[in-house]
A and B are shown apart, each in its own frame.
Chain A
Amino acid sequence: MAREAVWLFTGVIALLVVATAIGRILRVRMTSEAQRPTIENLNARIRAWWVMVAVFALTIASGGYGSIVLFGILSFLALREFITLTPTRRGDHMALFWVFFVITPLQYVLVGMRWYGLFSILIPVYAFLFLPVRIAMFGDAHRFLERAAKIQFALMICVYCVSHVPALLMLEIRGYEGRGALLLFFLVFVVQMSDVLQYVFGKLLGRHAVASAISPKKTWEGLIGGVLTATALGTALWWATPFTPIQAAGMAFAITVAGFAGGLTMSAIKRDSGVKDFGRMIEGHGGILDRIDSLCFAGPIFFHLTRYFFA
């Protein structure tokens, strides 16, 4: 695995070097001040990518527990951004305490314990039944269903879905023992490249918005261009996965489409809340949740496809 990981990260670093060079060239060749914000944002995004790749490389290198801790922290931060945007009331306080300090850590402990049975129902069953009761116990019925639903939704997206990414490590695939981290790399790489390529194709060719009232920047041209090229990239990585090239193409296709769905859904939530980004923790990208929105959807889909067909 070590050798494959080195190859993969060398490839990523080469990509980043090229991206950084393009960003510099664009800045030097800038012809009008109107372009400045876009180019500065592009450079900020690339700078942030260096940091994100470094963090991701370190966790992959640290083995299983490092990934669990990293995605646990990402869940926690994403949840924090989500709940901050969601109007909660005094009566939700104790339920939120449970969400942040008990349910979220427990979900990742279950990943670490490889306890698949409880991992897959803790949030959709137990948290789903417990949280409304805890809210009701406070005795405030104002918009009760809405409040309970929003907290459950936040937990599903930010914790349940995201926890499926490190859960890839608990899959036992014949002939692929001890290389789960490569699968994790495959997922994250294809999702993030799909985001980047959809953005690039959208900027270059985008004409027809998929849902202009939700996100005018998400276009059919960007979607198709991004999905096809990211699927091609994923296919080219088949040697690092348990898949044949055709299977890898199918997986990458599913990941990119799910990723798009995640981005569009989260855009709808942001638009409804009247914000552009969930936060501002990552320079140029917005918040944690803005960066992992596509991963939230792609994670569980990829996990279950792999589990059903290969584990």
Chain B
Amino acid sequence: MSGRAALAIAAAARTLAGATVRTTGFVPDVRQRVYYANHTSHLDSIVLWSALPKAVRALTRPVAARDYWDVTRLRRYLARDVFHAILIERHPTGRSDHPIEHIVAEMGNRYSIIVFPEGTRGEGDEIAPFKSGIHRLVQMRPDLELVPVFIENLNRVLPKGVLVPVPLLSSITFGCPIPTREGEARVEFLDRARGELRRLAERRHGA
């Protein structure tokens, strides 16, 4: 994911959203990672992506829903050509392979990904329960590092259902990678991963 258009859009989004980046002991590097974040705005993946160092950015692709991003010409251009998103089918009808298998194939042993395990954008008040896909992903690729990322205030910059943004200050907090345990049951894993993200949110509020 590189190119001038991506850089320009990311810079504009970051300026608009006044994003400050916090790291809590996390060191960004190019090893294969899954950045999972709370989802409240269309700006989430762009701003998160732009918060990564340049070398990491080039190897990090957002995962996005095909039913939204493959519809109009502009969205398709943004998703495919600019941000090299991995587009997945959210609805079981009419898909040839399982979305997680598709993601794993697209990642190969090269790319990191940005995912929003809540599945859809929330109102920003509460982190919704995670969909099970991220568990399946980790079971297929237990070698990946899972990095929780808490995004704050982007839902106020560009909330669900509006076209115009408001330039408030947002922040992005990277947590430390959480350990993956092979064979961990789905419910436990999803609770644990969500718990880590909520802890990150609380620690951020306490700070």
Contacts and interface: CB of A to CB of B under 8 A. Distances in A.
Nearest to A79: B167
B169 A84 contact: yes
A261 interface: no
A80 B17 CA distance: 10
A81 B169 contact: yes
A93 B162 contact: yes
Contacts, number: 31
Interface in A80-125: 80-81, 83-84, 88, 90, 93-94, 96-97, 100-101
A88 B18 CA distance: 17
Nearest to B171: A84
Interface in B165-184: 166-169
Contacts of A84: 18, 153, 156, 168-169
A100 B153 contact: no
B132 interface: no
A279 interface: yes
A280 interface: yes
A280 B167 contact: no
Given A80-B18, A90-B123, A280-B20, A96 B153 contact: no
B41 to A, nearest CB: 12
A93 to B, nearest CB: 6
B148 interface: no
B62 interface: no
Main DSSP-derived SS at the B contact region? loop
B164 interface: yes
Contacts of B117: none
Most buried by A among B159, B162, B164, B168: B168
A90 B159 contact: yes
Contacts of B123: 90
Given A90-B123, A90-B159, A97 B164 contact: yes
A80 B20 contact: no
Interface string B144-160: 00000000010010010
Nearest to B156: A88
Contacts of B162: 93-94
Interface residues of A, number: 15
Interface residues of B, number: 12
Most buried by A among B123, B164, B167: B167
A202 B153 CA distance: 36
Contacts of A80: 18, 167-169
Contacts of B153: 84
Nearest to B160: A90
Interface string B44-79: 000000000000000000000000000000000000
B167 A279 contact: no
A279 B159 contact: no
B23 to A, nearest CB: 16
Contact of A83 (B20, B159, B164, B168): B168
A96 B166 contact: yes
Contact of A97 (B18, B20, B166, B169): B166
A177 to B, nearest CB: 38
Most buried by B among A81, A93, A94: A93
Nearest to A278: B169
A209 B185 CA distance: 58
A96 B157 CA distance: 10
Interface in B112-158: 123, 153, 156
B42 to A, nearest CB: 14
Contacts of A81: 169
B39 to A, nearest CB: 16
Interface of A: 76, 80-81, 83-84, 88, 90, 93-94, 96-97, 100-101, 279-280
Interface of B: 18, 20, 123, 153, 156, 159, 162, 164, 166-169
Given A84-B168, A280-B20, 5 more contacts: A81-B169, A84-B18, A90-B123, A93-B166, A100-B166
27 contacts: A76-B167, A80-B18, A80-B167, A80-B168, A80-B169, A81-B169, A83-B166, A83-B168, A84-B18, A84-B153, A84-B156, A84-B168, A84-B169, A88-B156, A90-B123, A90-B159, A93-B156, A93-B159, A93-B162, A93-B166, A94-B162, A96-B166, A96-B168, A97-B164, A100-B166, A101-B164, A280-B20
Q: Closest 7 CB pairs between A and B? A: A84-B169, A96-B166, A84-B168, A97-B164, A90-B159, A97-B166, A80-B167
